[in-house]
Structure 1
Amino acid sequence: MKGFFDRMKEGAAEAAKYAQQTVEVTRLRAQISSKEKEIDRYFGAIGERVFQAYMDGNLAESEPFIGEASAQILRLRQEIVDVENRIQEVRQTKPCVCGREVPADKKFCPDCGHRFEGGVKPEEVVVEPEETPAEACPACGAQRPVGIDTCPACGRPGEKPDSLPPGNPE
């Protein structure tokens, strides 16, 4: 019975950790949304200022404002990149060139096979239990989720079954 309660405690702790991570990611995404709205306001202000200068027949008078507003837009865009990086830290992922977010401890993207340089120290990554069915990679034997074509451990493509048997038209 003690083992049952220990498993319950572990499950509750894991759920609390996941909930905390979700709250943090939601808060960070709200920051990004706020910064994007501020960027839109700067673009609108630039447009109004340029139009007014055009109507006045003196476009040069809008240049200082455009320069200042553009600098603010660049600053906000960098802040968005920083917040997106923080989201990846919280979620313990890294971006792949194919656009997928890959767990930080993987060396290869399971979708496209891209190899990540460097690595993450094992103590930096908290390994969470797999919830999806896994199968062994035919090349290296590492476990990979069922249906993933490229092994995240060795980067080799898996064996794909033929979509249709020979002589069986669709």
Structure 2
Amino acid sequence: MSFFQKIKTGAAKAADKAQRTVETTKLSAQIAKKRKELKDNYTEIGAIVYKAYQTGDLSLAEPDIARLAQANAAIEEVIASLHEKIRELNDEHLCVCGQTVQANAAYCFACGRKLEVEEPAEDIEEEEAPEIGEAELEPWAEAQQAERPDDETPVYQGIAEIRCKMCGEYIRPDDRACTHCGAVQGTPGDTMR
């Protein structure tokens, strides 16, 4: 890959990440607005109940409470769909344990549960890849090796990643289970580096 091609590829990745960040920020702002609506409805429910309590007849509050409870249920559905859009933008999925995991993970980092892999659409025809000989792969492999030396450990949020004690793949330091094999990791001192 030429120098200019690397710059072009890097710029395209940066632009894509910036666009995802803008979209995520917009969705997060919508979520904050909806959460404020929930809080306002809860406050209104409290005021209605208190007024009914003062009159001595709590049944007077039931119609208003039911209306606001239904509105809150609808708002919570909107919030859940906005969170799902954020996960889609960031190529993430929701595990049944409630944690958000990367789409390419085979196992949840928090609970170790095997994740379901989405099958590609059936109507897309896959083209057969041409056979590539070892001689053609050698320059590519050498270039890959030069870009990332053996002693370079991946970094996650400024902290060096660790290796899974079962399969040896790199995982984030705060993962409780390996996203590649699902092995529970235990304490950080137990993992191999």
* TM-score exceeds 0.5: yes
Structure 2 counterpart of 1:119: 117
Sort the Cα spacing of 1:18 and 1:153 in 2 relative to 1 into closer, same or farther, 3 A: same
Structure 2 counterpart of 1:7: 6
Structure 1 counterpart of 2:27: 28
The alignment's C-alpha RMSD in Å is: 3.1
CA distance in 1 between counterparts of 2:186 and 2:60 reads 65
C-alpha displacement of 1:122: 6.2
Q: Which segments of 5 or more consecutive residues in structure 2 lack a partner in the other structure?
A: 122-152
CA distance in 2 between counterparts of 1:161 and 1:54 reads 54
After TM superposition, the structure 1 stretch with the greater mean CA deviation from structure 2, 47-56 or 36-45, is 47-56
C-alpha displacement of 1:99: 5.2
List aligned pairs for 1:45-60, cutoff 5 A. 45-60=44-59
Paired residues, number: 154
Is the 8 Å Cα contact of residues 144 and 152 (structure 1) preserved in structure 2? no
Q: Which amino acid aligns with 1:119?
A: V
- The yes-or-no answer on 1:155 pairing with 2:182 is yes
C-alpha displacement of 1:51: 1.4
What SS is found at the alignment partner of 1:109? Answer: coil
List aligned pairs for 1:1-170, cutoff 5 A. 3-96=2-95, 100-116=99-115, 118-121=116-119, 132=155, 143-145=169-171, 147=173, 150-157=177-184
CA distance in 1 between counterparts of 2:84 and 2:30 reads 13
Is the 8 Å Cα contact of residues 104 and 120 (structure 1) preserved in structure 2? no
C-alpha displacement of 1:43: 0.9
CA distance in 2 between counterparts of 1:55 and 1:152 reads 56
The Cα offsets for residues 73-98 of structure 1, whole Å up to 9 and x where unpaired, read as: 11101111111111111111123355
The Cα offsets for residues 93-119 of structure 1, whole Å up to 9 and x where unpaired, read as: 123355543211211124542211x21
CA distance in 2 between counterparts of 1:71 and 1:102 reads 31
Is the 8 Å Cα contact of residues 109 and 150 (structure 1) preserved in structure 2? yes
